[in-house]
Structure 1
Amino acid sequence: MKESYGLMVRFTLRDADAASSFDALVARTLKGIDAGEPGTLVYVSHRSRDEPLVRVFYELYADRASFDAHERQPHTQHFLAEREQYVSSVEVTFLDAVAGKVRAQR
Structure 2
Amino acid sequence: MSNGFGLVVRFELRDPEAAAGFDELVARTLPGIKEHEADTLAYVVHSVPGEPNVRVFYELYADRAAFEAHERQPHTVRFLAEREQYLSAVQVTFLEADAGKGPVGP
Q: Could you say which TM-score interval applies, normalised by the shorter chain?
A: over 0.9
TM norm structure 2: 0.93
- Quick check: 1:39 aligned with 2:39? yes
Q: Note the aligned Cα RMSD (angstroms).
A: 1.4
Cα-to-partner distance string for 1:24-46 (whole Å, 9 max, x where unaligned)? 11111101001110010000110
The worse-fitting range, judged by mean Cα deviation, of 94-103 and 71-80 is 94-103
How many aligned positions are there? 104
TM norm structure 1: 0.93
Q: Which runs of 5+ in 1 are unaligned?
A: none
Match runs of 1:1-106 below 5 Å: 2-103=2-103
Counting aligned pairs with the same residue, the percent is 65
Indicate conservation of the 8 Å contact 1:13/1:87, yes or no.
yes
Q: State the alpha-carbon separation in 1 of the partners of residues 97 and 3 from structure 2.
A: 8
What is the SS of the residue equivalent to 1:25?
helix
